[in-house]
Amino acid sequence: MTTTTRLSELNGDYVLDAGRTRIGFVARHRMATRVRGRFDVFEGAVHLDGDDPGRSSAQLTIRADSIDTGDRRRDAQLRKDFLGAPEYPIITFVSTKVSQVDRTRFDVTGDLTIRGVTHPVTVPFDLVSTTDGVAFAAQLTIERARWQVNWNALTTALVEPTVVLDLQVFVTA
């Protein structure tokens, strides 16, 4: 069971609980199938300032080669051809601004780097409290081509240009 909490109750430095956090994604094939996956190796930290949310910050580092869609061949191709993991082993997000939208919604703007290409994104996070900690949830749609996450012309034609990032983030003090 989840209940809503207030950021004003939270102050200090937190780390991602890797056992409960899920960094997932959904990519849609033009033939109507969806590929769901996740990244298994990541770490991150959050500084929360409940009195002044604009002074909050977050950073996330993901190992590109930890992608898992449940299909070893597809994962190997995603690592090598789409993410370029041998050359670009790390995906990062570093916040540059946090804005409170309403009581439990926060826009976290920051720099997302994939394949060595950095672009700003704004992630709409909802703050949720659970019986044993604090969680943030967000979904964000990104255009793969902005980060050069394409393999060849055929995959550009067969895979939708957008990917939905699905974030379920648990933090602990």
Q: What is the pLDDT of residues 136-173, one digit of tens each?
A: 999 999 998 899 887 665 565 667 889 999 999 999 88
Q: Say whether 158 sits in a helix, a strand or coil.
A: helix
Q: Which of 76-85, 86-95, 129-138 has the highest mean pLDDT?
A: 86-95
Write the DSSP assignment of 29-45 as a string of letters.
ETTS-EEEEEE--EEEE
Tokens 């191709």 belong to 77
Look up the pTM and report it: 0.89
How many domains does one find in the chain?
Answer: 1
Domain range for 27? 2-172
How many helices (H) and strands (E) would you count in the chain? 2, 12
Tokens, residue 3:
């209940």
Q: What pLDDT digit, counting tens, does each position of 48-85 carry?
A: 998 899 999 999 999 999 999 999 999 999 999 999 99
CATH assignment at residue 36 = 2.40.128.110
